[in-house]
Amino acid sequence: MVAVTMYWRPGCGFCSMLQRDLDAAELEYEKVNIWEDPAAAEYVRSVARGYETVPTVTVGDTALVNPDVHQITALLDAEAGSDVAASPEDQSTE
């Protein structure tokens, strides 16, 4: 399964909305508070043009800045499709 991480900070309404949507979609994800983790804040700045824009979500190696749940699930579906396509069990030997 592809790892999903949501970078957030306290008081962020967009973070609260996205968390509610991720929970409703029953997606597993890790939450990282950028105000408690300087390395996480630095990572967010590195993918958000120098800003601490939250929520920022990573799906595998892909970062999404202020995404909605549909963008996250679409990326998860694409990642799952690429895993299936690359699986040797699914390749025909004909």
Tens of pLDDT, residue by residue over 27-67, are 999 999 999 999 999 999 999 999 999 999 999 999 999 99
Tens of pLDDT, residue by residue over 12-30, are 999 999 999 999 999 999 9
Predicted pLDDT at 61? 93
Question: What's this model's pTM, rounded to 2 decimal places?
Answer: 0.84
Edge to edge, what strands does the sheet with 56-59 contain? 30-33, 4-8, 56-59, 62-65
Mean pLDDT, residues 57-80: 95
CB distance 34 to 7 below 8 Å: yes
Domains delineated in the chain: 4-86 (3.40.30.10)
